[in-house]
Chain A
């Protein structure tokens, strides 16, 4: 039995968490978990399909599988795999196309009006729904937990396992609840909430746990904001992140192509943590105390308030990070000058993110000598943004307006930062070399990235407008 926050033993109870409910509904037998939706992309699937082929095994449930090409896709508007210049990237996308055809898996590849980052298109098509189990060979699968689903990343051997059996061998992880109180201040966003959380619990604070985010500040977030929070669960080591679905969720899902008609609201309203349900670990965070966040180092946990300075190193890892980032302790965050700004990735590339960034840059110009780009998360997001005229706002300000893909989040495509370049990025990882060998990444919210693009250095968005 779990210890609660105040150290009391929870009474013997049948109260269950949201996680317990979804887990139990998907237990096929001891240690085997049924998968409702398997999302597939080109990087982590080729070896899985190849092994199936060698073993003569079919894909068990193509109707519960959906594929797209995102990591390798150039964002220059190419519409066929043939146009991808990098030979290995081209082969990987073509291999996905061939595998999906052979195994009858539905695919939105490059050129499709529905192509996009796998964690953007799942929700937008309505295939991501409350109460589901969702897996993908990608650690940011935790994104889908924003809908009250149990969603987590798996490796290629498990991709093959799910393709063959529609199940996973899983032991139940521990549970953790991060509860927020108070209210996010003006200019403080979901991105700051999750960066601030990782800064407090550490990059391994969630290891072995499924995390439920709860409390009024979470309930007030839009679905885009909730996706941002759940997306970065893995950066705190969590197995999955989830948020109980509510009216905000139901309204967002309603009417999307794959959404049920009518929505099964009675069942979906049961998807919440019962009062008194025990958790293995609980954390309480005052959202009111959070400022806009900026990472200074090479893990997402190396993060400070924008009003703060680059900290003194407290470990060898810190010293190493400062060296890599070429930063001196005591430097004000607002004095850090930037070469590039990247707005995109599965963390922050949805229409709400782009609207927020566009509001900041409207009528302004990107700082001289700075490269700034906006990469919509999906072709549908791109079309929506263009319908609203956001692309004109960005272009007029000097931003490069691109097509959908993972882009500069991870540099598996032509969008790569040069060695030594300093990037303000709305993505999720500031690891060494992540955005390009020798590139220096600072993770921030879309608003903070947009304002930094205008000024050429970080600014406190709360003071700036």
Chain B
């Protein structure tokens, strides 16, 4: 994962609420078995609407409950592949938020009026260390879990981090793991 520290530059505004992952990357593009190359299909249907204007700036600014719907990580992959490095919104859907953090696409939740100000300002600077967003004429701080922040700043491999706890996992399996079900003992058919 790419390390995240400061993201700055022009913003692209998508002033819609409840944008679902079916819009971000429609299902016909989920058939690929690769992780890259989804950017060209980002907002495939919406991008054909007259007046659609969403340049690949570093920061996407959008409405509440962004990324609702399916668990497809293809949605953050497409946003990142397209060129976005961070997303500012009043709120995010849970699985989408988690998926973004896993790939280093920084989700930043601000108050609705702050989001509108950033949209109007047209540019912003996000400092993950300081947990602060600044834009011409304003600034705001944002929340992020300490552990998530540490992993994003370090660009850490989640699995590598968890495997440092391998002993704890083994101990859990030896002492506390529940009995069954054992999928490998199911009949073949």
Residues of A at the B interface (CB closer than 8 Å) are: 25, 28-29, 31-32, 34, 36-37, 43-44, 46-47, 50-51, 55, 57, 62-66, 71-72, 86, 88-89, 91-92, 95, 104, 106, 108, 112-114, 125-127, 129, 131-132, 137-139, 141, 152-158, 160-161, 164-167, 169, 171, 173, 203-204, 207-208, 234, 237, 239, 257-260, 299, 315-317, 320, 410-412, 429, 431-434, 437
Contacts of B153 in A (CB 8 A): none
Is the beta-carbon distance between B95 and A88 smaller than 8 angstroms?
no
A63 touches B182 (CB 8 A): yes
Q: Which residue of A lies closest to B31 (CB)?
A: A88
Q: Which of B45, B64, B181 interacts with A204 by CB under 8 Å? A: B64
Residue of B nearest to A154 (CB): B71
Evaluate contact between B33 and A429: CB separation under 8 angstroms.
Answer: no
- With a CB–CB cut-off of 8 A, which chain B residues contact A108? 189
* Chain A to chain B: the 10 pairs with minimum beta-carbon distance, closest first: A88-B31, A155-B99, A155-B73, A157-B102, A46-B33, A153-B71, A258-B181, A204-B65, A156-B73, A66-B183
* Cβ contacts A to B, 10 pairs, < 8 Å: A29-B165, A31-B147, A43-B30, A89-B31, A95-B33, A156-B35, A156-B74, A157-B158, A315-B17, A431-B23
B69 lies within 8 A of chain A by Cβ: yes
| Contact of A165 with B95 at beta-carbon distance under 8 Å, contacts A92-B33, A412-B27, A432-B45 already known | no
> Which A residues touch B98, using CB under 8 A?
154-155, 158
A207 touches B94 (CB 8 A): yes
List, in ascending order, chain A residues with CB within 8 A of B69's CB: 139, 234, 429, 431
Query: Contact size class for B?
Result: 35 or more
The answer for the CA separation of A50 and B150 in the assembled complex, in Å, is 26
In the complex formed, the residue of A with least CB distance to B17 is A317
B137-189 CB contacts (< 8 Å) to partner A: 145, 147, 158-159, 161-163, 165, 168-169, 172-173, 176-187, 189
| B interface residue numbers (CB < 8 A to A) | 16-18, 20, 22-23, 26-28, 30-35, 45, 64-65, 68-74, 76, 91-95, 98-99, 102-103, 145, 147, 158-159, 161-163, 165, 168-169, 172-173, 176-187, 189
Q: Which of B68, B163, B168 counts the most chain A CB atoms within 10 A?
A: B68
Residue of A nearest to B75 (CB): A155
A256 nearest in chain B by CB position:
B181
* Given A204-B18, A429-B69, residue A153 in contact with residue B31 (CB < 8 A): no
